[in-house]
Structure formats: C-alpha cells, structure tokens
C-alpha cells in the first residue's frame, strides 16, 4: 500500500510544494535524448512532473503509480501522458501494444521495494514492459552517504500551498536498521490538524543492485553521479540483456 503522503488526497496536494523544483528532470530528459528513446515508461510517476516534462519533448509517455491521489494530481497536469493506476505489471494488460524504449524510476522510487521479492518482481515487470534492447534508468541513494543523518537534523519547513494555505512540515527519522531507514512526515495545516505519513526506504549498495539487475535480465551500461545530489546517489543506466544485433 502506498504511503499516506502519496495516497491521502489531503497530503498528496502538498507534495509538489514541499518537494520543490525537480532538478533531476534534466537528467532523465538527457538520458532519453542520449538513447534516442521515443516511448518512455515512468514507474512510480507520483504527481507526474518528470512524465509531463518528457511528454513535452514530443515523446509518447506512460506514467504508472499505485497511489490514486497522486495520480489524480498528475492527470490534471497533462492529457498528453497516458496515466495508469497500478504498478509496472499493469502496463502490458492495459496497453498491450506498448513497449517502452526507456523506463525510468525517479526520486526514491527504486528504494520503496523493501524485500528482495518485491524488488525482483518490479524489475521483471519493467523488463516485460520494455522492447528487446530497451533501457531502464533509475537513481538510488548511496548507503555510504548516510542521508538519514542529515534528515535527523532537518528543521521544520513552512510553505504556502496553493488552495490549502500555510502549512508547516517536519521530517523525523524514526528508525535506522540498515538496510532499512524509516521516517515520518508530519504537517500542521491552517486548521490546526497535524496528519502524518510514515515511510521506509531500503538502501542497497552498488554490488547488490548490480547483482539484482543481472538476475532480472539487465546489463548495466553506465553508473553515474546524480547532478542534483553530487556524491549522494547512484544513477544506473541499464539495458535488457537481449539487445538485438545491430
């Protein structure tokens, strides 16, 4: 089940304002350009900013997410994107003729799959949604950067949210039991209510990710730094291992 911050309509309305500008979007547009990708699948598209930006370049884009509240916000941003409610395995059944040149997982999407079984199932579903030789690109936080230590020191943040008013958000780290890190977002609304959302991310190291990708039928073609979070994340660019002969 998606976390409340994505699935609760009241909290989902806050996401774009508190998340701020998506400085990672040029990275994924650049990867799509580099690979000549015309059909793109955005897995865990959330409120849709990367998918909308990719569609604005003239690409055919499908965004899929299991959090209906976030997906409803995404649908209001663009009719050029095909929005699907569900996970990556929903794509072949809903769009049987669609095979992506490139699939992406932006933000923390790759880290929400906490068990090996869930992660492998997701990679398998993405593999099936790609054309032979298609690519998968995603980012994941480096465990050695210990991002949770910064999160634990994060001050409260106040933002003016369109249609809501002034909201204050606080991030609290609730548990560190590596490879899992849990945290809570709490928001104070203008009416004084303080709903919260609990989340857990899995921090996989480089070798674990490479092994899991190979097991799921992907070759790692590049591992680079995230330009918006230097030294904090890996950006994996991979290709289905059944790439056609040139």
**pLDDT for residue 210 is more than 60:** yes
Task: Please answer whether residues 113 and 149 qualify as being in contact, where contact means their C-beta atoms are separated by less than 8 angstroms.
Answer: no
Please give the Cα distance from 127 to 135 (Å, whole number): 9
In the sheet that holds 157-161, the strands lie side by side as: 157-161, 165-177, 180-188, 196-202
Task: Please answer whether residues 112 and 197 qualify as being in contact, where contact means their C-beta atoms are separated by less than 8 angstroms.
Answer: no
**pLDDT for residue 155 is more than 70:** yes
Which among 131, 134, 140, 133 has a CA at the least distance from the CA of 44?
Answer: 140
CATH for 4-142+204-240, among 3.40.50.10680, 3.40.50.150, 3.40.50.880, 3.30.420.280? 3.40.50.150
Tell me what pLDDT residue 113 has.
97
Tell me what pLDDT residue 243 has.
63
Read off the pLDDT of residues 107-140 as tens digits, 9 standing for 90 and up. 999 999 999 999 999 999 999 999 999 999 999 9
pLDDT, averaged across the chain:
95
Q: Which residues, listed in sequence order, are joined to residue 236 by a DSSP beta bridge?
A: 138, 223
Tell me what pLDDT residue 169 has.
97
Predicted confidence band of residue 71 (pLDDT cuts 50, 70, 90): very high
> What mean pLDDT comes out for the span 77-93?
92
Task: Please answer whether residues 20 and 81 qualify as being in contact, where contact means their C-beta atoms are separated by less than 8 angstroms.
Answer: no
Predicted confidence band of residue 245 (pLDDT cuts 50, 70, 90): very low
Predicted confidence band of residue 208 (pLDDT cuts 50, 70, 90): very high
CA 102 to mean position of chain CA atoms = 14
Extract the tokens encoding 36. 């000549």
Distances in whole angstroms, Cα of residue 116 to Cα of each of 24, 110, 122 = 26, 12, 10
For the chain, the structural domain boundaries read 4-142+204-240, 145-202
pTM of the model: 0.94
Tell me what pLDDT residue 60 has.
97
Of 15-24, 43-52, 80-89, 102-111, which gets the smallest average pLDDT? 15-24
> What mean pLDDT comes out for the span 24-40?
97
């Amino acid at each position: 089940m998606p976390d409340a911050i994505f699935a609760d309509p009241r909290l989902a309305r806050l996401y774009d304002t508190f998340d701020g500008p998506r400085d990672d979007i040029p990275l994924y547009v650049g990867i799509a350009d580099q690979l000549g990708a015309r059909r793109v699948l955005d897995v865990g598209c959330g409120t849709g900013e990367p998918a909308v930006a990719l569609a604005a370049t003239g690409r055919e884009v499908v965004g899929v997410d299991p959090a209906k509240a976030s997906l409803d916000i995404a649908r209001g941003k663009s009719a050029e994107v095909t929005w699907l409610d569900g996970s990556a395995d929903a794509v072949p059944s809903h769009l049987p003729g669609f095979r992506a040149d490139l699939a992406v997982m932006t933000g923390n999407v790759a880290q929400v799959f906490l068990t090996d079984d869930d992660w492998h199932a997701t990679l398998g579903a993405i593999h099936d949604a790609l054309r032979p030789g298609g690519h998968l690109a995603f980012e994941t936080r480096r465990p050695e950067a210990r991002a949770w230590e910064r999160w634990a020191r994060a001050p409260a943040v106040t933002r003016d949210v369109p249609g809501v008013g002034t909201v204050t958000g606080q991030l609290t780290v609730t548990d560190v039991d590596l490879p899992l890190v849990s945290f809570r977002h709490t928001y104070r609304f203008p009416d004084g209510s303080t709903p919260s959302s609990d989340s857990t991310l899995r921090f996989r190291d480089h070798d674990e990710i490479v092994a899991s990708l190979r097991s799921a039928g992907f070759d790692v073609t590049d591992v680079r730094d995230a330009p918006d979070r230097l030294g904090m994340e890996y950006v994996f660019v991979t290709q289905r291992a059944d790439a056609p002969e040139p």
